[in-house]
Amino acid sequence: NVMMVVLESVGAYRVHLYGAPFDDTPNLDELARHAMVFSRVYAAEAETSAAMGALLASVYPDHDWPSITQIAPSLAIPGLPAVLSSHGYGTAYIHSGGLFFDREDEFLNTRGFDKIFGEPRDYDFSRELKMLPKVKKWLEAAPSRPFFLVIWTHNTHHPYVSRFHHDYGVRDPNLNRYLNGVYEADDFIKRLGRRSKRWGWPIARCWW
């Protein structure tokens, strides 16, 4: 079983695990003690839609506008979800934001996912925790199959809506909201790990 958790718009220089001066990832710090942590990882491109193309279809970004999902949402490259699906895996994509930007919904629908979950709107309030019951429901629907599950958070995308309101001692209120979004993403991973263990799917190996 494979869970891929993508933290939206999170750069290493804002993460305590990688040396940032903010206590915003206590759970990742703890998980790193028994996980493989990569110190040299480079994003294909710092833009969500381009990252989808790299992660789910193994294509290099065009480094231009528009992104690969908008140019070729039906790109004829199977990618990881489709390959695993052809080997008997159940596959799903769960996002706590909308999937309408840059034709991302069309792109995801051609990647080989059995089920895709998104939200009709973005930004008005935190929806991170709403992903947990969706994870549980989907996992329970096909318990006999190995699974590939992509979970893509959203709160660290501008305008940084979060359930938390810690004061990180920075002057920029946008940055403070962003750091609270990072903290909430970290909190979500903690809850996901605990519930996965309770549901019978413990996360045995971690890579960061």
Question: What would the pLDDT profile of 4-47 be if each residue is shown by its tens digit?
Answer: 999 999 988 899 999 999 999 999 999 999 888 998 888 777 78
Is a pLDDT exceeding 60 seen at residue 205?
A: no
pLDDT score recorded for residue 26: 96
Q: Does the pLDDT of residue 200 top 80, yes or no?
A: no
Across the range 63-89, mean pLDDT stands at: 88
Q: Where are the alpha helices (DSSP H) in 35-172?
A: 48-57, 68-71, 79-86, 104-109, 131-141
Residue 199: per-residue pLDDT: 79
β-bridge mates for residue 117, sequence order:
94
| Averaged pLDDT for residues 81-100 | 94
The answer to pTM > 0.85 is yes
Average pLDDT, the chain: 89
Strongest mean pLDDT among 61-75, 78-92, 122-136: 78-92
CA gyration radius for the chain?
Answer: 17
Would you place residue 203 in the very low, low, confident or very high pLDDT band (cuts 50, 70, 90)?
low
pLDDT (mean) for 126-131: 91
Give percent of the chain above pLDDT 90.
58
Give the closest residue to 56 by CA, choosing from 6, 120, 13: 6
At residue 85, does pLDDT exceed 90?
yes
User: Which band of pLDDT confidence, cut at 50, 70 and 90, is reported for residue 208?
Assistant: low
Residue 5 in 3-state DSSP?
Answer: strand
Instruction: List strands edge to edge, sheet with 2-6.
Output: 2-6, 147-152, 90-95, 115-117
The pLDDT of residue 20 is 94
- Straight-line distance from the first to the last Cα atom of the chain, in angstroms, rounded to the nearest whole number: 17
What's the pLDDT score for residue 207? 58
pLDDT at 88 (0 to 100): 93
